[in-house]
């Protein structure tokens, strides 16, 4: 039961970040970890706090890349808290290993479905595609693109690339369906700094 809860916690956090449902993923993840730690009679608040700190540092590495420094420190602190909670290195290693495997599988599946982790997302949307491949690299305000139309360059399942009238190629997300490439779309709203689009109906 403990391993299942731990795996659900990792799965919820990864899914929440990649689908931009941060609050839902955070609530489910935090709840699963709290239940996980609550099942151990020999645990302590210190172990829980160490694990929480490690988790925060790992997530911070995703949004504030530090060449792996925060990630490694977070992993070590989190593992320390986990071992202190279980009081059995073997149990901690099993839980951590299964949780990591579940996380990797979930990440792979979500990437295949078109989701991605919003690395260093800001209020200003940065596009970093290679100019030599026909893309432009510049900073643009997300709000400026609301109600603007664009042409999809890749399928949106649900995320992909679209080119706008100003020449910028940006990452967009379909709001309600899978949209193929070379289709006209319009930006309907913004959610978590992500441009949400729908297919343009010319009828």
CATH number of the domain within which 151 lies: 2.40.50.140
Statement to judge: residues 90 and 171 lie in one domain: no
| Cα gap 191→197, rounded to integer Å | 11
Q: What is the pLDDT of residue 65?
A: 63
Name the residue range of residue 170's domain. Answer: 142-199
**Is residue 71 included in any domain, yes or no?**
yes
Task: Provide the pLDDT for residue 130.
Answer: 45
Residue 158 lies in a domain: yes
Is residue 49 situated within a structural domain?
yes
Residue 98 shares a structural domain with residue 50: yes
- Judge residue 89's burial from the number of C-beta atoms within 10 Å of its C-beta, 0-12 exposed, 13-18 middle, 19 or more buried: exposed
| Tokens coding 16 | 């929440």
Prediction pTM value: 0.59
> Does one domain contain both 146 and 107?
no
Residues 91 and 4 in one domain: yes
Residues 98 and 159 in one domain: no
Residues 66 and 107 in one domain: yes
**Residue at 122 is within a domain:** no
pLDDT in tens, the chain (203 residues): 778 888 999 999 888 887 778 788 889 988 988 888 877 666 677 888 888 898 888 888 776 767 778 888 988 888 888 887 776 777 778 888 898 899 899 988 887 777 766 554 443 444 444 444 444 444 557 788 899 999 999 888 888 899 998 888 888 988 888 888 899 999 999 887 788 999 987 55
Same domain for 108 and 13: yes
Do both 104 and 171 map to the same domain? no
The domain total for the chain is 2
Q: Which two tokens stand for residue 51?
A: 């694990």
Confirm whether 123 is domain-assigned: no
The reply to whether 179 and 82 lie within a common domain is no
Q: In angstroms, what CA-CA distances link 149 with 40, 41, 124, 164?
A: 54, 57, 19, 7
Could you say which of 113, 132, 167 is where a domain stops? 113
Q: Is residue 135 part of a domain?
A: no
- Considering the domain boundaries, does residue 185 fall inside one? yes
In a domain, 130, yes or no: no
Domain end (from 94, 113, 132): 113
Co-location of 50 and 98 in the same domain: yes
Q: How many CB atoms lie within 10 A of CB 190?
A: 15
Q: Are residues 91 and 155 in the same domain?
A: no
For residue 28, the model assigns a pLDDT of 92
pLDDT of amino acid 41: 62
Residues 50, 93 share a domain: yes
């Amino acid at each position: 039961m403990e391993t299942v809860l731990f795996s659900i916690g990792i799965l919820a956090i990864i899914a929440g970040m990649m689908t931009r449902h941060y609050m839902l993923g955070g609530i489910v993840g935090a709840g699963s970890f709290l239940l996980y730690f609550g099942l151990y009679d020999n645990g302590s608040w210190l172990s829980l706090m160490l694990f929480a700190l490690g988790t925060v540092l790992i997530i911070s590495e995703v949004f504030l890349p530090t060449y792996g420094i925060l990630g490694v420190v977070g992993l070590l602190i989190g593992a320390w808290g986990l071992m202190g909670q279980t009081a059995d290195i073997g149990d901690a290693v099993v839980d951590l290993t299964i949780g990591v495997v579940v996380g990797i599988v979930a990440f792979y599946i979500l990437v295949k479905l078109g989701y991605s982790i919003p690395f260093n997302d800001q209020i200003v949307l940065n596009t970093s595609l290679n100019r030599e491949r026909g893309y432009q690299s510049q900073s643009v305000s997300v709000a400026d693109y609301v109600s603007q139309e664009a042409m999809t360059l890749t399928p949106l399942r649900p995320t992909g690339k679209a080119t706008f009238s100003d020449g910028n190629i940006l990452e967009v997300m379909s709001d309600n369906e899978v949209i193929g490439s070379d289709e006209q779309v319009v930006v309907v709203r913004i959610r978590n700094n992500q441009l949400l689009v729908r297919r343009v109906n010319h009828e």
